Amino acid sequence: MAKLIVSKFGGTSMGDAACMLRSAEVAYRQSSSMVVVSATSGTTNDLIALGQTAERQSWGEAEALITKIHQKHLKIAKELKVSSANMQMLEQLIEEMSSLAKGVHLLKDCSVKAMDALMSLGERISSILFVEAMAQVLARHQSAKKAQWLDVRDVLRTDETFGKAKPLTNEILGLCQKHLAFLPEMKTVVVTQGYIGRTEDGMTTTLGRGGSDYSAAILAEGVSADVLEIWTDVAGIATTDPRLCPQARPINEISFKEASELATFGAKVLHPATLLPAIRKNIPVFVGSSFDAEAKGTWVRKDVDEHPLIRAMAIRKKQVLVTLSTPEMLHAHGFLFQIFKIFNDHKVSIDAITTSEISVSVTLDDSTLLNKKLIADLSEIADVHVEENLSLVSLIGNNINHTAGLGKEIFDTISDINVRMICLGASKHNFCFLVSEDKGPEAVQRLHKKFVEV
Ligand code: ASP
Ligand code: MG
């Protein structure tokens, strides 16, 4: 039986008419049954700017942004020679955008709810244009399949956390069964939007910036897809950031566990949460470039053939090390509980942690430091010492915590670089440590050379 494939195309793959046609060609060749698209590149940012401008500046300035967004999409529509029905739809969506912006302007209030409604226009507009590109490519190949547009909000039910809504898995499964049961017949290519959803009450939500990958994974789960494809502008996941290390090369395959560590610890290719629905349903994920569909790309799967000790490396900049010490911790219990409770109350996430008898060190993203109240609360129970401008370097692979001599090899390679903190042991797949930010790139380059370029 043919495989059920869900393909997601990011903003750059939607950049203009040529990009859309190229992406549609990829979807055709892959025999995708469902295509999930992002807004055209830059449009989500423009819509955010529109919300903010409408709230704070003159209507004229907001109008200029509306015109910019309108013209950009009109140009694509004309180049694609879209049908009059889709042209009308485009104009209606621009009209909706304009009305929403006007409302924000009159109220001088751009709530997260209003912002979500505004931002949803990016994906809704791009998908209207893409369904046209898809139909043209299918016709060109004399395919019997039809392209069909779907308002993803009919199936992607979320809670009411506007700006970062949580998808409601069970409801989504039910809605997919109701609206997309025809998908396995393979007669249709459904084109729909990433990033957006709808609450039970019919309000539009978004899943958080970059959320289209996540949408695609949720939909792949919802329709029980055999494969999820993420098409972007780079040919797969690289062994490390190629801007940092020109010798970086695409990874052929990586396990879900390694990929989750890689994404969490700094690699930009996949939204960390993206993988969850795919992991849950054991759906293999392919990451490739819509600009170079022939390139091999990367498979992310539960089981992989090769298990190299170090497969990839990541770096996470702007890290802060917070060290909490108190003699009261000596032989006492509950200290970690108190600390974690404070971080939890402030909704701050901790990345790495080490402890000694009377102190605990944790790493955080530096933006959280702006939270003076957090530091004040921590100071109530311990002496707090904060160090900034650090980078967290991670080596991702297999059997890391059971390989004798690995630590020695790693630290011999960077023996002249001070390592401020080490985290090893919790995962077979990750070894990470902190160095000063100016030494981060060098540490990655040397370790990449030693462990990956062999
Ligand atoms: N268009 C949204 C954004 O730019 C979602 C996405 O592209 O994944 O954040
Ligand atoms: Mg994007």
Q: Would you list the domain boundaries of the chain?
A: 5-233, 310-451
Query: What is the DSSP annotation of 200-242?
Result: TTS-EEE--TTTHHHHHHHHHHHTT-SEEEEEESSSS-BSS-T
**Both tokens assigned to 221:** 């789960």
Asked if the model's pLDDT at residue 244 lies above 80, the reply is yes
Q: Which is the closest atom of ligand 1 to the Cα of 207?
A: 5
Contact 143/27 with Cβ under 8 angstroms?
no
User: How distant is the alpha carbon of residue 347 from its chain centre?
Assistant: 20
Q: How far is the CA of 110 from the centre of ligand 1 (A)?
A: 19
Residues 6+ apart with CB under 8 A from 374: 342, 343, 346, 348, 368
Model confidence band, residue 52 (pLDDT cutoffs 50, 70, 90):
very high
Mean pLDDT over 53-77 rounds to: 97
Q: Which ligand is nearest to the CA of 195?
A: 1
Residue 210 alpha carbon to ligand 2 centre in Å: 5
pLDDT at 245 over 80: yes
Neighbour count for residue 169 (Cβ, 10 Å): 15
Overall pTM surpassing 0.85 (yes/no) = yes
d(CA 212, CA 42): 14
Ligand 1, from 12, 36, 44, 192: best to mutate by most atoms within 8 Å of Cβ? 44
Least confidently predicted of 73-87, 117-131, 145-159, 286-300: 286-300
User: What's the rounded Cα separation, in Å, for the pair 257 and 275?
Assistant: 9
Q: Which ligand is nearest to the CA of 213?
A: 1
State how far the Cα of 170 lies from the Cα of 154, in Å rounded to an integer: 14
Determine the average pLDDT of the residues in 261-289. Answer: 82
Report CA(213)–ligand 2 centroid distance (Å).
8
3-state secondary structure of 137: helix
The CA-to-CA distance between both ends of the chain, in Å, stands at 40
Ligand 2 centre distance from Cα of residue 206 (Å): 13
* pLDDT at position 367 over 80: no
Ligand 1 atom nearest the C-alpha of 195 is: 5
The CATH classification number of 5-233 equals: 3.40.1160.10
pLDDT above 90: residue 191: yes
For 30-48, how does the pLDDT look when each residue is reduced to its tens digit (9 = 90+)? 999 999 999 999 999 999 9
- Residue 242 CA to ligand 2 centre (angstroms): 19
Average confidence (pLDDT) over 309-325: 93
C-alpha closest to that of 189 among 16, 19, 37, 12: 37
Nearest CA to ligand 1 atom 6: 210
Which residue ranges have their beta carbon within 6 Å of ligand 1? 10-11, 38-39, 44, 122, 194-195, 209-212
Atom 2, ligand 1: residue with shortest CA distance: 210
Pocket probe mutation, ligand 1, options 125, 130, 212, max atoms within 8 Å of Cβ: 212
Q: In this predicted structure, which of 37-51, 139-153, 313-327 has the lowest mean pLDDT?
A: 313-327
CA of 383 to the centre of ligand 2 (A): 42
Find how far residue 397's CA is from the centre of its chain: 21
Q: Tell me what the pLDDT averaged over the chain comes to.
A: 93
The closest alpha carbon to 93, from 125, 69, 61, 136, belongs to 125
Q: Are 436 and 418 in contact (CB under 8 A)?
A: yes
347 pLDDT higher than 90: no
| Cα–Cα distance measured from residue 39 to residue 180, given in angstroms and rounded to the nearest whole number | 23
The ligand minimizing its distance to the Cα of 45 is 1
- pLDDT of 270 above 80: no
Judged by its nearest atom, the ligand closest to the C-alpha of residue 207 is 1
Distance of CA 59 from the midpoint of ligand 1 (Å): 26
As a whole-number percent, the residues of the chain with pLDDT over 70 amount to 98
3-state helix, strand, coil in the chain (%, to 5): 45, 20, 35
Q: Give the number of the ligand closest to the Cα of residue 194.
A: 1
The residue written with tokens 């802060």 in the block is: 320
403 three-class SS? coil
Neighbours of ion ligand 2 (CB under 5 A): 10-11, 38
- List 348's β-bridge partners, or say none: none
According to CATH, the topology of domain 310-451 is VC0802-like (3.30.2130)
